[in-house]
């Protein structure tokens, strides 16, 4: 059960961080054209095509004692960020970034800048306008983004294997645990965990498609 809890915790925190990072990023990409925009978009999309092991390998080096991760870890006396929950979190955030940025960017593009500007002219401040106009309008996009980000982190394997190792309670997530169980020929246990992951993933995707459909009906997306 440790692995399941850890996986959920990882997915939850990754999603929260991702939503916070992706909101300004997606808004910026949706409403600005600038030189080299394609470059930024390509970088964000990289995890979509890159083999997770490649991403994991670079992350391992970056998080290791000789990379920036090691430098940061020294601040609290650790040698490396790799093989720790924080390292895993950083890896997951990078790995799942495109899955959160893209639905938000599409949503923001559809909404456009106009509703925000109209709200301004009606005496609503920046915060007020985001709270009362943009977030409600972008709700379907946020549901898609959060669910995709969460689900994708849930299924993460390659990156975790590379940078997380297999420390129970610290970095051993459910996908790694299943792999281990199969290696050890404990099919019974692997069945249980796989079924849980399958059910969770299916549930979340159903939720996305259901909200998308109702959003279309009310013309919000």
Binding site for other proteins (CB under 8 A): 114-115, 117-126, 128-129, 132-133, 136-137, 218-220
Alpha-carbon span 201 to 195, nearest angstrom: 10
Residue 85 or 120 having the CB closest to other proteins? 120
Cβ 219 to other proteins shortest distance, Å:
5
Question: What does DSSP assign to residue 191?
Answer: H
Residue 136 or 199 having the CB closest to other proteins? 136
Cβ 173 to other proteins shortest distance, Å:
37
Cβ 220 to other proteins shortest distance, Å:
6
Token pair 């390998």 is found at: 57
| Contact assessment for residue 159 and residue 55, using Cβ atoms and an 8 Å cutoff | yes
Tokens of 28: 């910026």
Torsion angle defined by CA atoms of residues 160, 165, 171 and 176, in that order, rounded to the nearest 10 degrees? 60
- What residues have CB less than 8 Å from 29, skipping those under 6 apart? 37, 40, 41, 101, 105
State how far Cα 18 lies from the chain centre: 5
Cβ 21 to other proteins shortest distance, Å:
25
Cβ 113 to other proteins shortest distance, Å:
9
Residue 2 or 117 having the CB closest to other proteins? 117
| Contact assessment for residue 47 and residue 55, using Cβ atoms and an 8 Å cutoff | yes
Alpha-carbon span 137 to 110, nearest angstrom: 10
Residue 125 or 186 having the CB closest to other proteins? 125
Q: Packing angle between helix 187-217 and helix 2-31, nearest 10 degrees?
A: 30
Residue 129 or 197 having the CB closest to other proteins? 129
Residue 77 or 219 having the CB closest to other proteins? 219
């Amino acid at each position: 059960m440790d692995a399941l809890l850890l996986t959920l915790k990882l997915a939850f925190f990754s999603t929260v961080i991702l939503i916070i990072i992706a909101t300004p990023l997606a808004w910026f990409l949706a409403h600005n054209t600038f030189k080299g925009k394609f470059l930024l978009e390509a970088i964000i999309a990289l995890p979509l095509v890159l083999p997770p092991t490649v991403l994991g390998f670079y992350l391992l080096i970056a998080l290791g004692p000789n990379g920036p991760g090691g430098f940061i870890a020294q601040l609290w006396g650790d040698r490396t960020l790799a093989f720790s929950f924080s390292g895993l979190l950083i890896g997951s955030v990078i790995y799942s970034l495109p899955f959160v940025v893209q639905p938000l960017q599409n949503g923001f593009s559809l909404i456009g800048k106009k509703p925000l500007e109209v709200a301004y002219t009606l005496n609503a401040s920046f915060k007020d306008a985001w709270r009362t106009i943009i977030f409600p309008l972008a709700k379907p996009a946020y549901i898609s983004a959060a669910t995709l980000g969460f689900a994708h982190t849930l299924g993460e394997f390659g990156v975790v294997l590379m940078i997380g190792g297999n420390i129970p309670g610290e970095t051993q997530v459910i996908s790694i645990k299943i792999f281990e169980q199969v290696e050890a020929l404990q099919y019974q246990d692997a069945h249980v965990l796989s079924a849980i992951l399958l059910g969770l993933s299916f549930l979340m995707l159903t939720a996305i498609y259901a909200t998308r459909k109702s959003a279309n009906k009310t013309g919000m997306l």
